[in-house]
């Protein structure tokens, strides 16, 4: 399972903070550090209604996108830093111009955000690169998702479809882990994963246990920071815990246990399994009852405890003291 940590706008337009995230996330153990490439003039307008006047710095969302942007030279430096840190660079594109920019700097694959699933113009722009595509399904019905998958299949790109709930943060009851199985059944030729916004480590561990190929989550230094995704992000320490847990789950899934073979426990079974004994002093000729029996360690010193029913009602052939082991020769035929 591949871990994609999304910085998005957590850097708040600061190149220095952005580079700090790269180092922190690489140390936390993620595979990919992902950004968002917003070119305000290409993707938006002054009429965009979403989160107007939501910050102290930006009068409009359009102004916010402008402040969040970086130059091509800066993007080249960001990608280079990711490579030096040992993580893959990725950035979601929201316009054809953004795809052109990412192509110039050599991004390896593309992520389609939930709001772009029906933007076939952008889908074709990405598909024409021939590179792998991750398709997030947050706002899509099955009908819309089917159409996007069919559209992309025609281009032959390697495709991953991500279950996603567009709610920030997402409550546990809306995560939709069941959709991972449904995606596999519906699109057996693609990889599946989860793009999540719960701010909970448990969500990613659950996806890993279900065999998701990809897990994407938002990252932030502290959920009290400013930013549209801060409250639905994992902190660096939580991501470190997540990465370690996912590695453990990978190991568990890669090593199935054969319950038909317990030979490895032969020595322990001798120590921990028990033999039958008597719970009190009993004379020869006594007919054994349930209350007369006890089970004591180790195995092999009397009749196995699992066979206790076979001795009930049988007569003793000799006197036994309390807690003596009960052997076959002590039982009359």
Tell me which fold the domain 2-254 belongs to.
TIM Barrel (3.20.20)
In this predicted structure, what is the pLDDT of residue 7?
96
Distance of CA 177 to the CA centre of its chain: 10
Fold equal for 2-254 and 263-330? no
Sign of the CA dihedral running 225, 229, 234, 236 = negative
Nearest to 163 by CA among 144, 143, 181, 147: 181
Q: Tell me, what DSSP letter sits at residue 316? A: B
Residues 6 or more apart whose Cβ sits within 8 Å of residue 332: 314, 315, 316, 317
Distance between CA atoms of residues 146 and 144, nearest Å: 5
**Domain spans of the chain?**
2-254, 263-330
CATH architecture of 263-330: Alpha-Beta Complex (3.90)
The pLDDT of residue 243: 98
Q: pLDDT digit of tens for each residue in the chain (333 aa)?
A: 999 999 999 999 999 999 999 999 999 999 999 999 999 889 887 776 665 566 788 888 788 888 889 999 999 999 999 999 999 999 999 999 999 999 999 999 999 999 999 999 999 999 999 999 999 998 899 999 999 999 999 999 999 999 999 999 999 999 999 999 999 999 999 999 999 999 999 999 999 999 999 999 999 999 999 888 999 999 999 999 999 999 999 999 999 999 999 999 889 988 899 999 999 999 999 999 999 999 999 999 989 999 999 999 999 999 999 999 999 999 998
For residue 327, with 0-12 CB atoms within 10 Å meaning exposed, 13-18 middle and 19 or more buried, which class applies?
middle
3-state DSSP assignment of residue 269: helix
- 284 close to 319: Cβ distance less than 8 angstroms: yes
Predicted pLDDT at 30: 98
**Residue closest to 6 by CA, chosen among 50, 40, 37:** 37
Please tell me the pTM assigned to this model.
0.87
């Amino acid at each position: 399972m591949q871990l994609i940590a999304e910085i998005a706008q957590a850097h708040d337009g600061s190149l220095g903070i952005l580079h700090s995230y790269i180092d922190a996330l690489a140390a936390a153990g993620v595979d990919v550090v992902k950004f968002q490439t917003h070119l305000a003039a290409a993707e938006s307008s002054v009429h965009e209604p979403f989160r107007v006047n939501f910050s102290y710095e930006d009068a409009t969302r359009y102004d916010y996108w402008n402040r969040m942007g970086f130059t091509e030279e800066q993007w080249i430096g960001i990608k280079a830093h990711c490579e030096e840190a040992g993580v893959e660079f990725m950035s979601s594109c929201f316009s054809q111009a953004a795809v052109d920019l990412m192509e110039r700097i050599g991004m390896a694959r593309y992520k389609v955000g939930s709001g772009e699933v029906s933007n076939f113009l952008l889908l074709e722009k990405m598909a024409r690169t021939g590179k792998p595509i991750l398709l997030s399904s947050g706002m899509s019905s099955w009908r819309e998702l089917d159409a996007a998958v069919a559209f992309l299949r025609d281009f032959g790109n390697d495709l991953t479809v991500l279950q996603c709930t567009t709610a920030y943060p997402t409550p546990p009851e809306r995560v939709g882990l069941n959709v991972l199985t449904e995606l596999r059944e519906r699109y057996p030729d693609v990889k599946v994963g989860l793009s999540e916004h719960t701010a909970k480590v448990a969500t990613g561990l659950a996806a890993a246990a279900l065999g998701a190929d990809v897990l994407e989550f938002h990252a932030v230094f502290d959920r009290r920071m400013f930013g549209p995704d801060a409250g639905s992000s994992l902190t660096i320490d939580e991501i470190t815990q997540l990465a370690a847990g996912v590695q453990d789950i990978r190991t568990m899934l890669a090593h199935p246990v054969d319950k038909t073979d317990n030979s490895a426990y032969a020595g322990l079974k001798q120590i921990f399994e028990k033999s039958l004994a008597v719970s009190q002093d009993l004379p020869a000729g006594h007919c054994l009852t349930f209350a007369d029996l006890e089970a004591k360690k180790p195995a092999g010193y009397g009749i196995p405890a699992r066979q206790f029913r076979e001795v009930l009602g049988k007569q003793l052939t000799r006197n036994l003291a309390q807690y003596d082991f009960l052997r076959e020769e002590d039982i009359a035929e």
